[in-house]
Chains A and B, each alone.
Chain A
Amino acid sequence: MVAQGLQLAIKNDLAEIAGVTEAIHAFSAQSGIPNGVDNALQLVADELLSNIIRYGYPAGGAHTITINLEAKVDEVWVLVRDDGIPFNLLEQPVPKVPASLDEAEVGGLGIHLVRNTMDEITYRYEDGWNTVLLKKRLKPCQPAELK
């Protein structure tokens, strides 16, 4: 596979997310990305973008969020940048696993899903911008890598 890229920029409007996931799906098909990884990329984009749009701009106003994807031989990289309030998803507490529906809280799963779906995540806040870089392997770990 030759490295390929996708660059998107959207407004801070929840209605824009569907266009992003459609573009990711088309990019995955074009790049030969397996169905499971395609679904993971769409899921992560949906969760990160909805989180940014819902909570990142308490003062409102029009903002632009960028999403870049790059497919390489064995992995896909996702870069999401926004100028919302600082939010490090890696510092969020791990949700408690409820023992039953009685204890279950409704919601709060989005960041948990992102962290458990991707293979690597880094975060930085610089010059007023949140930058999240995520990696997803295209193939599961081989036994040699597990040693």
Chain B
Amino acid sequence: MDIRTETVEGCQCVFLKGRLDIAGTQSVDLKFTTLTSTRRQPVMVDLSEVDFISSIGMRLLVANAKTLHATGAKMVLVRPQQVVLEVLCTAGIDQLIPITASASDAAAILKPASG
């Protein structure tokens, strides 16, 4: 599992690559938390190169989105692959964390919140 970050559409974007299964999630857990909820800033999470997600991966996303939410900041999930999107929707994650088809759509959600 790879993780990197860069600025996209004026917002911080965390890019994940690989499988968010048990091993993959454990390998990025600390860094993902550091790059998202610890910063207390709006963040988009690009899932376009994540080809599998299980409940432990969704647990990581929800835990950090929830912490961010408590500080008044948002997380948006961007460009999930179809199979990943289906799992996110089955679990109801789409009702908790916005999911967008593009970084510009994500930025439109995040920028007002960032003031």
User: If A97-B95, A102-B69 touch, does A43 touch B62 (CB 8 Å cutoff)?
Assistant: no
Asked if B3 is an interface residue, CB under 8 A from chain A, the answer is no
- Report chain A residues within 8 Å CB of B59: 106-107, 109
Q: Which of B5-13, B38-46, B81-89 contacts A (4 or more CB under 8 A)?
A: B81-89
CA distance A101 to B71 in the complex (A): 12
Taken residue by residue from 101 to 124, chain A's Cβ proximity to chain B (1 for < 8 Å, 0 otherwise) reads as 110101101101100110000000
Out of A14, A17, A101, A113, name the residue touching B55 (CB < 8 Å).
A113
- Report chain B residues within 8 Å CB of A117: 87, 90
> Would you call B63 and A106 a contact (CB within 8 A)?
yes
Taken residue by residue from 43 to 67, chain B's Cβ proximity to chain A (1 for < 8 Å, 0 otherwise) reads as 0000000001011101100110110
CA distance A109 to B65 in the complex (A): 16
Interface of B is mostly: helix
- Report chain B residues within 8 Å CB of A42: 52
- Report chain B residues within 8 Å CB of A83: none
CA distance A52 to B58 in the complex (A): 19
Out of B55, B86, B96, name the residue touching A100 (CB < 8 Å).
B96
> Would you call A46 and B90 a contact (CB within 8 A)?
no
Asked if B91 is an interface residue, CB under 8 A from chain A, the answer is yes
User: If A113-B91, A117-B90 touch, does A104 touch B54 (CB 8 Å cutoff)?
Assistant: no
User: If A110-B54, A113-B55, A113-B87 touch, does A101 touch B82 (CB 8 Å cutoff)?
Assistant: no
Interface size on A, residues (CB 8 A): 27
> Would you call A101 and B22 a contact (CB within 8 A)?
no
Taken residue by residue from 79 to 115, chain B's Cβ proximity to chain A (1 for < 8 Å, 0 otherwise) reads as 0001100110011100111000000000000000000
Interface size on B, residues (CB 8 A): 25
- The chain B residue sitting closest to A105, CB to CB, is B62
- Report chain B residues within 8 Å CB of A106: 59, 62-63, 66
- Residue contacts A-B, CB under 8 angstroms, 16 given: A15-B23, A17-B22, A36-B83, A42-B52, A43-B87, A47-B55, A50-B54, A50-B56, A97-B92, A98-B92, A100-B96, A101-B97, A106-B66, A109-B91, A112-B91, A113-B87
The 3 A-B pairs of least Cβ separation, nearest first, read A39-B83, A110-B55, A109-B55
B residues neighboring A (CB under 8 Å): 21-23, 52, 54-56, 58-59, 62-63, 65-66, 69-70, 82-83, 86-87, 90-92, 95-97
